[in-house]
Amino acid sequence: MEFEPTHQPLDDSRRNNQQAWDRMARAGHKLTAPATKSELANSLKVIDGLGWLPGGIRSWKVLCLAAGGGRHGPLYASAGAEVTVVDLSPVMLERDRQVAAEHGLQVNTIQTSMDQLDMLPSAMFDLVVQPVSSCYLPTLDALFPEVARVTKPQGIYISQHKQPANLQASLDTYTGHYAIEHAYYDRRPVPPAVTPNLLREPGTQEFVHSWNDLLGGICRSGFVIEDVSEPSYGKSDALPGSFGHRCYFIAPYLRIKARRLGSATTPRLITF
């Protein structure tokens, strides 16, 4: 199925982030690495390390949201799903098409912002997966309502987010500790990293989103949260200022499994 890309104009931060991800993809940044052949051969294991998709996803309709780069789309397609990838970066989406073609997989790609999904019909997807990306939106007002709209009743929404303190805190340390440098309620982008750092994507604008907006926003949009998980990267013996040390002090991400409310059964036509 083909969908028209968005024609809505992009604001400055979305355009900035689109260009930043285009540059990262062209430069071969780590976060733009496509799935490998061996990962594609074990796709369900790679996708579902937490066991949140116990029956597999064969023939499911899956939306990989803000998930370009030739990784998520091909992995979910390789596990048997009918996949649509949404991303704002044309270079990241081109990588999905390339990887899919190389491995004989089918993925639909749509260039649009993750919170502008008007080209997609309501209740289309059994599963929406969203890697870390909500931080690139200045506000989450439209994101979760749009995800809820395109998810089938009883469908699953798995998303991962930078947790607020990760974005608020300093990246470097001179004392062995980290300082809160950006206020929780400051709606402006957080200060960019001065030197390359795995916790900030170069050239992007990132925004802190409160727990109220993240967890409350998912629930208020018509999902029930079934499980959460904090991927663990912290190392107690890591060098101060390193990724492992910072992650030992501040858990960087939260992964959330939510289920769309509503009845999965098709309403029957009752005749009298």
Ligand X SMILES: C[S@@+](CC[C@H](N)C(=O)[O-])C[C@H]1O[C@@H](n2cnc3c(N)ncnc32)[C@H](O)[C@@H]1O
**Site string (178-217) toward ligand X, x via CB under 6 A:** ----------------------------------------
Nearer to ligand X, 17 or 168 (CB): 17
Classified as helix, coil or strand, 206 is coil
Q: Amino acid identity, residue 22?
A: D
Q: Which of 111, 57, 103, 104 is nearest to 84 (CA)?
A: 111
Short-list 73, 81, 256, CA closest to 159: 256
Q: Is 14 in the site for ligand X (CB under 6 A)?
A: yes
Q: Are 94 and 124 in contact (CB under 8 A)?
A: no
Among 40, 43, 47, 69, binds ligand X (CB under 6 A): 69
Which residue, 72 or 246, has its beta carbon nearer to ligand X? 72
Q: Which stretch binds ligand X (CB under 6 A): 117-125, 133-141, 231-239, 258-266?
A: 133-141
From the number of C-beta atoms within 10 Å of its C-beta (0-12, 13-18, 19+), residue 46 rates as middle
Could you say which residues in the range 108-127 bind ligand X, by CB under 6 A?
A: 113-114
Q: Which of 61, 71, 161, 182 binds ligand X (CB under 6 A)?
A: 71
Stretch that binds ligand X, among 47-55, 86-94, 146-154, 217-225 (CB under 6 A): 86-94
* Phi, psi for residue 167 in degrees, rounded to 5: -80, -25
Q: Which residue is nearest to ligand X (CB)?
A: 69
